[in-house]
């Protein structure tokens, strides 16, 4: 609630300061390509974009969210959404670079059409440089995975597995690569359990896969999951394998259930990439660029990784209750 009040006050001040400009110009129509809005993490990204969009709406513009129906054909589907944004007259586009080989031609079409572009969430500054985007907003996916592996190894775990339920997605591959290196360089070992893309968000399939993998590999004592739902399912799989207390679980992102897990001691840590900020900053950059020509000198704007564990979980919960997380 406090966050909404702050945003409302900020919007009111912006309106007072720029009413003359608003009378002279139509507002920008920003298109944001993201994931399914019913995903807990992406719902926060979408909220951030929508809150930034209040400024665009104030000037007669809009923010439109486009997301895939499922994850079965993620790269080509996301590329098609980018092309839809071009066809619908986008003044600027925000999008992740999940699967470069499938999505880069669509991004090249954005730039060729003279449409300003910001890459967010996946791809890093390397993708922004390669594609001619203004900025990258998000985390460095490798570093996020590395932080998880390093944390678990330093916590006494010696053999970790990254649960990849979106094979072929560049950011997920980077999570797992970083996780393996974090484990290895901190004295442990790491591997990847490859699952079909249909397993992402399918709690039953994930739990069953984790149970089977742990029973087949009893030396594994650490797991890293790539999202909220997968993390909860991984914990269920650990329970089904009878390995609670022996296998520590860390996962990307958080929601109320993840925070409750950490409080209860059933989850060691969560890697926070602050999705709200990703949506808010990326959208705000393009609104101001299209409306006023302003740019951000720091082209790589990092929103993570941060680590949530038993030492700071109460503070994070307080932030959630205040509407700031």
Domain ranges of the chain: 2-139+274-294, 141-272
Q: Average pLDDT of 26-41? A: 89
Please say whether the beta carbons of 251 and 228 come within 8 A: yes
Listed range (24-33, 43-52, 188-197, 287-296) with the worst mean pLDDT: 24-33
Which pLDDT does position 36 carry in this prediction?
A: 86
Contact predicate 297/65, CB 8 Å: no
Segment 87-115 shows an average pLDDT of 97
Assess whether pLDDT exceeds 50 at residue 274: yes
Residue 5: per-residue pLDDT: 40
Least confident of 58-67, 197-206, 243-252: 197-206
Is the pLDDT at 110 greater than 70? The verdict is yes
Q: What is the dihedral of CA 210, 213, 217, 223, to 10 degrees?
A: -30
Residue 2 has a pLDDT of 40
Kindly state the DSSP code that residue 199 receives in the 8-state scheme.
Answer: G
Region of 132 on the Ramachandran plot (φ > 0 left; ψ -120 to 50 alpha; else beta): left
d(CA 245, CA 241): 11
- Summarize the confidence of residues 88-95 as an average pLDDT: 97
What's the mean pLDDT when you consider all of the chain? Answer: 90
Q: Six-digit token pair at 48?
A: 């951030």
pLDDT of residue 39: 83
State how far the Cα of 250 lies from the Cα of 309, in Å rounded to an integer: 9
| DSSP line for 96-129 | --SSHHHHHHHHHHHHHTT--EEEESSSHHHHHH
CA distances to 53, 83, 286 from 107, rounded to whole Å, are 22, 9, 16
Q: Does domain 2-139+274-294 have CATH number 3.40.50.2300?
A: yes
Indicate the DSSP class of residue 133: -
Whole-number pLDDT of residue 16: 33
Give the pLDDT band (50/70/90) at residue 323: low
pLDDT of residue 198: 83
d(CA 235, CA 218): 16
7, pLDDT greater than 90: no
Q: Would the pTM count as exceeding 0.85?
A: no
- For residue 71, pLDDT beyond 70: yes
Helix (H, G, I), strand (E, B) or coil at 93: strand
Contact 137, 122 (CB under 8 A): no
Is the four-CA dihedral 298, 300, 303, 306 of positive or negative sign? negative
CATH domain 141-272 topology: Rossmann fold (3.40.50)
Which run of H or of E encompasses 292?
Answer: helix 275-292
pLDDT, residue 113, reads 98
Confidence of residue 59 (pLDDT cuts 50, 70, 90): confident
256 pLDDT band, cuts 50/70/90, is very high
145: Cα separation from own chain's centroid:
13
Average pLDDT over every residue of 162-191: 95
- Is the peptide bond between 122 and the residue preceding it cis, with omega within 30 degrees of 0? no
What percentage of the chain reaches a pLDDT higher than 90?
79
Supply the pLDDT for residue 151. Answer: 98
**Buried b / exposed e across 193-230, counting CB within 10 Å, b at 16+?**
bebebebbbbeebbbbbbbebbeeeeebbbbbbbbbbb
């Amino acid at each position: 609630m406090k966050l909404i009040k702050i945003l409302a006050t900020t919007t009111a001040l912006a309106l007072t300061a720029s009413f003359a400009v608003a009378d002279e110009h139509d507002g920008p129509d920003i298109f944001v390509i993201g994931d399914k809005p019913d995903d807990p993490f992406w719902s926060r990204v979408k909220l951030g974009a929508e809150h930034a969009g209040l400024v665009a709406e104030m000037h007669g513009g809009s923010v439109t969210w486009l997301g895939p129906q499922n994850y079965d054909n993620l790269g080509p589907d996301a590329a098609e959404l980018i092309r839809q944004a071009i066809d619908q007259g986008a003044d600027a586009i925000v999008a992740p670079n999940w699967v470069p080989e499938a999505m880069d031609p669509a991004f090249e079409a954005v730039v060729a059409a003279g449409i300003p572009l910001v890459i967010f969430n996946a791809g890093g500054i390397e993708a922004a440089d390669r594609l001619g985007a203004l900025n990258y907003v998000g985390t460095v996916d490798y570093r996020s995975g590395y932080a998880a592996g390093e944390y678990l190894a330093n916590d006494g775990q010696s053999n970790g597995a990254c649960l990849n339920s979106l094979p072929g997605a560049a950011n997920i591959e980077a999570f797992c690569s970083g996780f393996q290196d974090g484990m290895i360089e901190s004295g442990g070992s790491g591997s990847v359990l490859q699952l079909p893309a249909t397993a992402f968000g399918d709690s039953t399939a994930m739990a069953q896969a984790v149970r089977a993998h742990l029973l087949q590999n009893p030396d594994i004592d650490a797991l890293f999951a790539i999202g909220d739902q997968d993390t909860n399912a991984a914990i269920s799989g650990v329970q089904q394998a009878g390995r609670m207390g022996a296998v520590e679980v860390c996962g990307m992102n958080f929601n109320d259930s993840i925070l409750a897990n950490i409080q209860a001691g059933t989850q060691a840590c969560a890697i926070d990439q602050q999705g709200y900020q990703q949506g808010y900053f990326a959208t705000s950059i393009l609104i101001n660029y299209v409306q006023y020509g302003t740019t951000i000198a720091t082209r790589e704007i990092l929103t993570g990784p941060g680590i949530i564990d038993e030492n700071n979980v109460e503070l994070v919960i307080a932030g959630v209750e205040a509407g700031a997380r």
